[in-house]
């Protein structure tokens, strides 16, 4: 099976350069050199067949194609980040036993309504409810 997204590292470099405002600042943040980042952006531009940035010795700016690509790439990476966080949160499900002691009235009339949504959200939690008469 061919890999369709081998170039995502180059997209991340492009995003980092634009976030940090320069190749040297992005290189410092990514612990690499500006020339490595420049080559990555050049590969991305060659792949897309579009110039994404206007580079001068003093600053970089986006072309119109670069602005559109930046917006869409940011959105795509946000979706990936959200998917990763959701997968991690599902794998970190709560489990185990919870013991609760409550007086009679509160235990019979208030606790069930409070715990029902919790138990539906965390089915691997076992609940032990001890209802005692208040002194």
Residue-wise pLDDT for 40-56, tens only, equals: 999 999 999 999 999 88
What value does the mean pLDDT take over residues 72-95?
A: 85
In a domain, 49, yes or no: yes
Instruction: Tell me what the pLDDT averaged over the chain comes to.
Output: 89
Determine the average pLDDT of the residues in 75-103: 85
Which tops the pLDDT comparison, 93 or 103? 103
- What is the DSSP track for 65-91? HHHHHHHHHHHHHHHHHHHHHHHHHHH
Alpha carbons 106 and 23: distance in angstroms, whole number? 63
User: What's the rounded mean pLDDT across residues 98-106?
Assistant: 87
Q: Indicate whether 49 and 104 sit together in one domain.
A: no
DSSP conformational letter for 33: -
How far apart, in whole angstroms, are the C-alpha atoms of residue 15 and residue 79?
15
pLDDT attached to residue 113: 84
- Residue 59 and residue 125 in one domain: no
Q: Are residues 65 and 125 in the same domain?
A: no
Please give the residue range of the domain that contains residue 56.
8-91
Residues 87 and 102 grouped into a single domain: no
Full-model pTM: 0.64
Asked, for residue 2, whether it belongs to a domain, the answer is no
Q: Could you tell me if 114 and 123 are in contact, meaning their C-beta atoms sit under 8 angstroms apart? A: no
Bridge partners of 126, per DSSP, are 97
Q: How many domains does the chain have?
A: 2
CATH of the domain at 43: 1.10.10.10
């Amino acid at each position: 099976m061919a890999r369709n997204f081998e170039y995502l590292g180059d997209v991340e470099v492009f995003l980092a350069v634009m976030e940090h405002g320069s190749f040297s600042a992005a290189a410092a943040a990514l612990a690499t050199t500006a020339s490595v980042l420049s080559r990555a952006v050049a590969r991305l531009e060659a792949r897309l067949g579009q110039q994404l940035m206007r580079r001068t010795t003093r600053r970089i700016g986006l072309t119109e194609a670069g602005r559109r690509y930046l917006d869409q790439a940011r959105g795509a990476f946000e979706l990936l980040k959200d998917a990763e966080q959701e997968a991690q949160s599902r794998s970190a499900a709560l489990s185990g036993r919870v013991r609760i002691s409550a007086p009679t009235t509160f235990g019979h009339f208030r606790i069930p309504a409070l715990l029902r949504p919790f138990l539906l959200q965390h089915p691997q939690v076992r609940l032990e409810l001890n209802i005692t008469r208040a002194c």
